[in-house]
Amino acid sequence: MKITLGTVQFGINYGIANTHGVPADEELKSILATAKEHDINYLDTAHAYGNAEERLGLFSENRFNIITKFPAVKTNDELQNVLSLSLDKLNCSAVYGYLAHNADTLIENPFLWETLLKAKEEKKINKIGFSLYSPEQLERLIALNCIPDIVQLPYSILDRKFANKFQVLKGFGTEIHVRSVFLQGLYFMDPEGLPEKLSDLKPALLELHNICKENNVTVSDVALNYAVANPFIDQVVIGVDTTAQLKENIRAVSDWRLENDLFARIETIAIKNKTLLNPVNW
């Protein structure tokens, strides 16, 4: 299963369409059990996700490959301390992946890359990398010779700004993990009921919903499978609030049968204000 379970919802209320809040312990255990049962083997978390790391330390039981992310540190000592803290919270001696939560941290402090390489040599980390927000960040880090084992970046049916970087990354042997395939739930919202600040996205969302309706598929199924079907993408990070949501996403991937002409049509949708495809601007 090409899905990584995102865990921000396990530590804080997150997402424009989230009505469930943070899942209780029993629900969290059920989500993790369902994930493992369906061959979802990766968890994505971060120091910044409230108490998500601690909860995974309690309930993940070393069944998953865990990727976590460090905040905006400025010294090697800070980075080493934050890594030790995350390992303690996660109740493990090593993590599969350790990423800068924002690539700017490494751009501004490129010497931190050496600290990551050292922690990798010490087998505290299997793979190192960074979370990206713009293609320019990737270009700057490659110029600094910070060649990642893993990157995480936003990618979805209407936000494809990184698509022309995929072949470059694969040339380095980099794992490409994508997030925001549902744009934090924006794609599910009624285009007629968008907040005023998002009104420029209304025509594109209306067109997306109409295309899906004509093809008798849900926006959710299309959004998820658009990323899963991309051969350059290794993992698609999705967050859920309930076991039922996770099962629905697993079903969506398992049952997908439509041809690529649907995706090609969606790719023609024009976006009036592309800055609104970044939730930071909401």
Residue 14 has pLDDT above 70, yes or no: no
Tokens of 13: 């209320």
> What is the Cα–Cα distance from 97 to 120, expressed in whole angstroms?
10
pLDDT at 36: 97
Cβ pair 126, 120 in contact under 8 A = yes
Q: Which domains does the chain have, with CATH numbers?
A: 3-189+223-257 (3.20.20.100)
Work out the mean pLDDT of the chain and round it to a whole number: 95
pTM, full prediction = 0.94
Strands 235-239 and 175-179: parallel
Cβ pair 42, 179 in contact under 8 A = no
pLDDT above 90 as % of the chain:
93
> What is the Cα–Cα distance from 168 to 120, expressed in whole angstroms?
23
Residue 17 has pLDDT above 70, yes or no: no
Residue 163 has pLDDT above 80, yes or no: yes
Average the pLDDT over 225-248 and give the result: 96
pLDDT digits (tens, 9 = 90+) for 46-88: 999 999 999 999 999 999 999 999 999 999 999 999 999 999 9
> What is the Cα–Cα distance from 193 to 102, expressed in whole angstroms?
32
Tokens of 6: 């995102």
